[in-house]
Amino acid sequence: MTMPQLSGDARPGLAPGVRLTFDKARDQWVVLAPERVLVPDETALEILQRCNGTRQLTDIIDELASAYSADRSEIEQDVRDLLASLIEKRILTA
């Protein structure tokens, strides 16, 4: 199975029926999707919080590279891999 290739101007956002919310009972962020609850790790959460359907992929990558003073190409690969996986699982749309 091939992962979807996102263009730099893609605007990833949560798929219909999916919410990113803070679960007070669990004291952590969760992704609520139909019949699923996902608990993102810290890195995934940073990415998901920026996927609002209006920010372009290149902007998200630039923000993260700046925030973490990290190599942009490494950040880009990590972001693209995560987004492709979440799009495949129908958590995100692009």
Residue with tokens 């992929």: 57
Give tens-digit pLDDT for 14-72: 999 999 999 999 999 999 999 999 999 999 999 999 999 999 999 999 999 999 998 99
pLDDT of residue 4: 59
pLDDT band at 1 (very low <50, low <70, confident <90, very high): very low
Give tens-digit pLDDT for 58-93: 999 999 999 999 899 999 999 999 999 999 999 999
Which domains does the chain possess?
40-89 (1.10.10.1150)
3-state secondary structure of 38: strand
Contacts of residue 93, Cβ cutoff 8 Å, sequence gap at least 6: 12, 13, 14, 15, 16, 53, 87
Q: Which pairs with CB-CB distance under 8 Å and at least 24 residues apart come from 58-65? A: 58/8, 58/9, 60/12
